[in-house]
Amino acid sequence: MAARLRRVAGCHPTSNADQLMPRPRLVILGYSEAAMYLRGASGGEVGALISIHGPREFGVEAAVSRKLDLTFDDVEVPVPGDVLSMQRAMGRRRWAEQTGLTEVAPTRDDVEAIVRFAESIRDDAGTLLCHCAGGMSRAPAAAFICLAVWLGTGRERECAAEVKRIRPGAVPHIGVVRFADELLSRGGELVRAVSADWSSVTSG
């Protein structure tokens, strides 16, 4: 099958360095942006959707053939052995006990679902829309994982650079990226790729 040039959708076009590859186009947006995008002229091109939202947030509704709906908040995943990370987690638990507002952190199962979804739509035509509340942390991480699955080992920094082009200012959720690195057996390359392209990697 002849390769086709796929333009990466979103606010910015792809650069000349992008490769010829049969894979979905990517759009990374926040909730309100995603709802408007789906109602617009380009909405009909969306064939797959990754919708990430916390228990008190909303996910967009879309008549798409392939959809992955995940429920977790934009909160840090504690790192075993990291004292500061564990202290922050304890602080959030105390806050949740005081306010009654429990936050749901992403899990390995959530990220495994993203990996499986990416594999299932690898050769699909059309657009993959990834959205979370603001489109700046969870959705970029999901898009980054999809690219890592599609492009394969050794191209992790290309994946990070592409996400940065599509959604300037976004910082992929590092906890989600860590889970993906483990699941895809990348030996830390996914985490290093994100760290190299973003001077500060947090999950805020």
pLDDT digits over 65-75, tens only?
899 999 999 99
pLDDT digits (tens, 9 = 90+) for 41-77: 999 999 999 999 999 999 998 889 899 999 999 998 8
pLDDT greater at residue 201 or residue 117: 117
Over residues 151-178, mean pLDDT? 96
C-alpha 46/C-alpha 127 separation (Å) is 4
pTM of the complete model: 0.82
Does the pLDDT value for residue 114 go beyond 80? Answer: yes
Q: Is the pLDDT of residue 150 over 50?
A: yes
- Helix (H) / strand (E) containing 47: strand 46-53
The answer, yes or no, to whether residue 203 has pLDDT greater than 50, is no
Structural domains present in the chain: 25-197 (3.90.190.10)
pLDDT at 10 exceeding the cut of 90 = no
CB-based contacts of 142: which residues, under 8 Å, 6+ apart? 50, 52, 114, 130, 132, 176
pLDDT higher for 93 or 134? 134
> What's the pLDDT at 188?
96
Tokens of 183: 């699941």
For the ranges 28-42, 70-84, 98-112, the lowest mean pLDDT is seen at: 70-84
**Length of the chain measured in residues:** 204
Mean pLDDT for the stretch of residues 168-193: 96
d(CA 193, CA 159): 8
The one-letter code for the residue type at 46 is V
> Looking at the predicted structure, is the pLDDT value of residue 172 above 80?
yes
pLDDT for residue 11 is more than 60 = no
Q: How far is CA 112 from CA 20, 29, 31, 157, 165, in A?
A: 27, 21, 23, 21, 25
pLDDT at 198: 60
* Structure confidence at residue 18 (pLDDT): 44
Which tokens belong to 136? 């700046």
Q: What is the pLDDT of residue 197?
A: 56
Three-state SS at 181: helix
Residue 43 burial by CB count (10 A; 0-12/13-18/19+): exposed, middle or buried?
A: middle
Q: What is the mean pLDDT of the chain?
A: 85
pLDDT value for 1: 32
Integer CA distances (angstroms), 192 to 9, 88, 96, 160, in order: 25, 23, 32, 10
Give me the pLDDT at residue 135, please. 97
